[in-house]
Amino acid sequence: MISWIEHRTGLISALKEFLTEDIPGGASYWYVFGATTLILFTMQVVTGIFLTFYYSPSAVTAWESTRYIYEHVTLGQFMISLHDWGASAMIIVITLHLLQVLVFGAYKRPREIQWVVGVSLFFFTLVLGFTGYLLPWDLNAYYATQVGINIAASVPMIGTYIAAFLNDGSTLGTLTVSRFFGIHVWATPALLIGLIGLHLFIFRHNGPAGPPSDHGPKTIGRFYPDQIFLDTLVAFIAFLVVVALAVYMPTPLLPKADPNYGGFIPAPAWYFYSLYGVLRLAPAGVLTLVATVVLPGVFALVLFLLPWIDRNPSRAIAKRGFMMGVTSITIVAIVGLSLFAAKAIDTERKASPAGLTPVAGLGAPRVTPSPVAVTTGASAPAAAPDGMAVYSANCASCHGASGQGLAETFPPLAGNPFVTGDPKKVIAVVDNGLHGAITVGGKPFNGVMPEWKDKLSPAEIAAVINYIRSSWGNKAPPVTEAQVKAVK
Amino acid sequence: MAPETTQPNKPDAQEEMGRLRFMAQFTVAAGSFVGLGLVIPLLATLWPRPELLNANKGWSPISKDEFDKLKASLDKPVKIHFTKKGVIDGYLVSDQDYYVWGVHMTSAEEAKFRQERSDLFTPKLLGDVTFPVLTMGFVLFSSICPHLQCKFDWDDSLRAFLCPCHGSQFNKYGAHMKKPDGSYIGPAPRGLDPVPFREQSGIADVEWVKYFANVPYRMIVSYS
């Protein structure tokens, strides 16, 4: 049977040829990152293909179809979370792969081109991350991409053209989603697959670099089965970790993107935190440009040209003190900037939590799914306002996403007897606002509650009061729109 | 057999070489022609057309009620709501609701405004405001914070516009406020952005413009 196939295809000898490869110095855990990246990438392709069966890229359907996947597709939330965590895992592992090659000096002659192709793969992976981030079209996707495009737009001379190209026009809108979809789903993966082929072809041409030493190792190991076993083991563990994260920490979906939304604090994907940290630290003006464009640009250029910049012929770590020093400082700087950005975003989000309560995924407060069909266009009946949406848009920035309030200024709504008490009084406070010192639960508060009667419709006021009277442990009978209208 | 027949005719071998070279060159040339012939127009399709870049430029009317609110706003700024009809987003068209902040000033305040917001009246290298900012004592500010495009609110107790995101404060004239030590309150890179406003025989219009965020100069990036 095997020889029958071999005669007609040559596949068996090709596989043997592929598996037969000497590993100088023997198989090692140091060499597993490339193969693990490839396996994670394959997983991303597969989960991505399944997501396209449901996802629809336009401003009126992107968020709705994503929510549909969460709520009405069998294991849909798991599939989305697997794709999201898989992306994070791929970025981590490809970075480890890059660092291993860097530390082992494996980018040096004759592997310069292989390194350049590898660095391209790294940056195209980041392109996948950036373009994929917009697709759910929730508040965070929208505003984080807005910041990203704003940064690109600040490149001198050509910035406005880059922004126009990314937006496909002057604003982030429906054409931007379909453009990012095309880049994320077709252009970049196709390019990536070609470059992976090239990367592997050159790898086989040069052979593995082996341990970081200037003398060839005495022992020779086998690729199959020794290294393949280690690769499989680590990739399997990575797979289990990603699955566990997807199950226990499903990716949250925030409320739909809204260009007129106030006070939302966007956060980029964690792997762009360092860039965001630079943006936040840089003073306004020309220095912003240096920080957001020049610095990352120089970083990318140095990474690409490293085999020609680092002229030190030795691969031994002990003889490459300068290179190791620069690498360590860069890692510390990137981690430090990321932590700084994480802290800044966290602080700001605590102060202004508007829009941060997810609709689905980790942290979503309710499990009742939305109706299957999403009404659009002229045939849409006037839907009842969503109390939670009204709350997160207007109230959460002071009273907190879970009604916890803010010490001395804004009273908590959770467990507040006034909130669950006389509906007329609650309606009156929402309608007309409240000034001056009050006491809730024995603690003093003195803030300003604005008037809402001109800003929200009676239906919205009823919806939000029902939301606060039935959330965070509060249990009080609902109020009706008619009751709201009756209170002046 | 075959070599014997070709050997006497050396010119034939040369001809064969020439033929091979021609075929190779033709393949490369035809391939490049087809490839570039496809790639160049395909890349061109990615470039947004001018009508997309300048889509939605134009005035929107302010209703009589809203205009009356603006006229009566001498003590503090008011939100002026308006609807922009037929806002184009690619192949989608919809009506969009916007609001701007309106300030009505006395002539004494107008002088103060010109002084505090001198940046809006002096020509600059980059980011000139090319429309009249003050029209009949009215100034309209975009509702978007010039820092990172959050929506800010008027805080009566502070007598200032306060952005909830990063705490930038602006006075009634839209000037970025300072602490007693001279440093700015909040990270905004410039004062509030004016938007075009006009009035003709009692009918008021506003133009919704969006400026480039987080830079000290003003550059219009879109009209929706």
Helix or strand or coil: residue A21? Answer: coil
Residues B38 and B112 both lie in one domain:
no
Out of B166, B214, B222, the one facing A171 most closely (by C-beta) is: B222
Residues B75 and B21 both lie in one domain:
no
Highest mean pLDDT out of A286-300, B19-33, B119-133: B19-33
- Write out chain A residues lying below 8 Å of B150, CB-based: 262-264, 352
- Write out chain A residues lying below 8 Å of B98, CB-based: 260
Name the residue of chain A whose CA is nearest to B56's CA. Answer: A170
Residues B19 and B82 both lie in one domain:
no
Predicted structure pTM score? 0.79
> In chain B, positions 22-81, which contact chain A (CB-CB < 8 Å)?
46-48, 52-55
The pair of structure tokens assigned to A294 is: 């020049």
Name the residue of chain B whose CA is nearest to A435's CA. Answer: B157
Contact: B215, A154; criterion CB under 8 Å: yes
- Write out chain A residues lying below 8 Å of B213, CB-based: 150
**Best CA proximity match to A242, nearest among A126, A130, A93, A81:** A81
- Write out chain B residues lying below 8 Å of A263, CB-based: 150-151, 164-165
User: Where is pLDDT greater, at A422 or A127?
Assistant: A127
Q: Kindly report the nearest CA distance between residue B94 and chain A, in angstroms.
A: 9
Torsion of CA B58, B64, B70, B71, to 10 degrees: 120
The string of pLDDT tens digits covering residues B34-59 is 999 999 999 999 888 887 777 888 99
- Write out chain B residues lying below 8 Å of A169, CB-based: 48, 52-53, 55, 90, 222
Query: What CATH number does residue B64 fall under?
Result: 2.102.10.10
**Does A169 reach chain B within 8 Å, measured CB to CB?**
yes
The string of pLDDT tens digits covering residues A284-316 is 666 777 887 889 999 999 999 999 999 999 999
- Write out chain B residues lying below 8 Å of A282, CB-based: none
- Chosen CATH of A384-486 out of 3.40.640.10, 3.40.605.10, 1.10.760.10, 2.40.40.20: 1.10.760.10
Question: Positive or negative, the Cα torsion across A371, A373, A374, A375?
Answer: negative
Name the residue of chain A whose CA is nearest to B213's CA. Answer: A150
Q: Kindly report the nearest CA distance between residue B18 and chain A, in angstroms.
A: 33
Contact: B164, A263; criterion CB under 8 Å: yes
b/e per residue, A114-132, with b = 16+ CB within 10 A? bbbbbbbbbebbbebbbbb
- The torsion region of residue B90 among left (phi > 0), alpha (psi -120 to 50) and beta comes to left
Residue A469 CB contacts under 8 Å (≥ 6 apart), including other chains: A419, A420, A426, A475, A476, A477, A478, A479
Q: Kindly report the nearest CA distance between residue B132 and chain A, in angstroms.
A: 24
Contact: B222, A170; criterion CB under 8 Å: yes
The pair of structure tokens assigned to A46 is: 């597969």
- Write out chain A residues lying below 8 Å of B82, CB-based: none
Residue matched to tokens 């606002």: A433
pLDDT of B122 higher than 60: yes
Range of the domain at B138: 54-222
Contact: A168, B223; criterion CB under 8 Å: no
What is the full DSSP assignment across A97-124? HHHHHHHTTTTSTT-HHHHHHHHHHHHH
pLDDT of A234 higher than 60: yes
**Do the interacting molecules here have an ipTM over 0.90?**
no
Residue A22 CB contacts under 8 Å (≥ 6 apart), including other chains: A207, A208, A220, A221, A222, A223
Residues B59 and B27 both lie in one domain:
no
Q: Kindly report the nearest CA distance between residue B1 and chain A, in angstroms.
A: 33
> In chain A, positions 245-264, which contact chain B (CB-CB < 8 Å)?
260-264
- Number of domains chain B is built from: 2
Residues B28 and B62 both lie in one domain:
no
> Among A307-321, A391-405, B12-26, B136-150, whose mean pLDDT is lowest?
A391-405
- E-state strands within chain B: 59-62, 78-89, 92-104, 138-142, 153-155, 160-162, 169-170, 197-200, 203-207, 210-211, 220-222
**What residues does each domain of chain A span?**
21-351, 384-486
Residues B208 and B183 both lie in one domain:
yes
**Does A61 reach chain B within 8 Å, measured CB to CB?**
no
Contact: B48, A285; criterion CB under 8 Å: no
The string of pLDDT tens digits covering residues A311-336 is 999 999 999 999 999 999 999 999 99
Helix or strand or coil: residue B200? Answer: strand
Residues B144 and B86 both lie in one domain:
yes
Contact: A147, B91; criterion CB under 8 Å: no
What is the arithmetic mean of pLDDT over A118-124?
98
The string of pLDDT tens digits covering residues A348-381 is 888 888 888 888 888 887 555 555 555 554 444 4
Q: Which amino acid does the sequence have at A233?
A: L
Helix or strand or coil: residue A445? Answer: strand
Phi, then psi, of A440 in degrees rounded to 5: -130, 125
pLDDT of A283 higher than 60: yes
**Best CA proximity match to B102, nearest among B205, B185, B190:** B205
Residues B112 and B205 both lie in one domain:
yes
CB A426 within 8 A of CB A365: no
Residues B141 and B173 both lie in one domain:
yes
The pair of structure tokens assigned to A461 is: 């006021």
**Does A284 reach chain B within 8 Å, measured CB to CB?**
yes
**Does A351 reach chain B within 8 Å, measured CB to CB?**
yes
The string of pLDDT tens digits covering residues B154-203 is 988 889 999 887 788 999 999 999 989 888 888 888 999 999 999 888 88
Percent of chain A beyond pLDDT 70?
Answer: 95
- Domain A21-351 sits in CATH at 1.20.810.10
- Residue A394 pLDDT class (50, 70, 90 cuts): confident
- Write out chain A residues lying below 8 Å of B223, CB-based: 170
Q: Kindly report the nearest CA distance between residue B111 and chain A, in angstroms.
A: 29
Residues B134 and B213 both lie in one domain:
yes
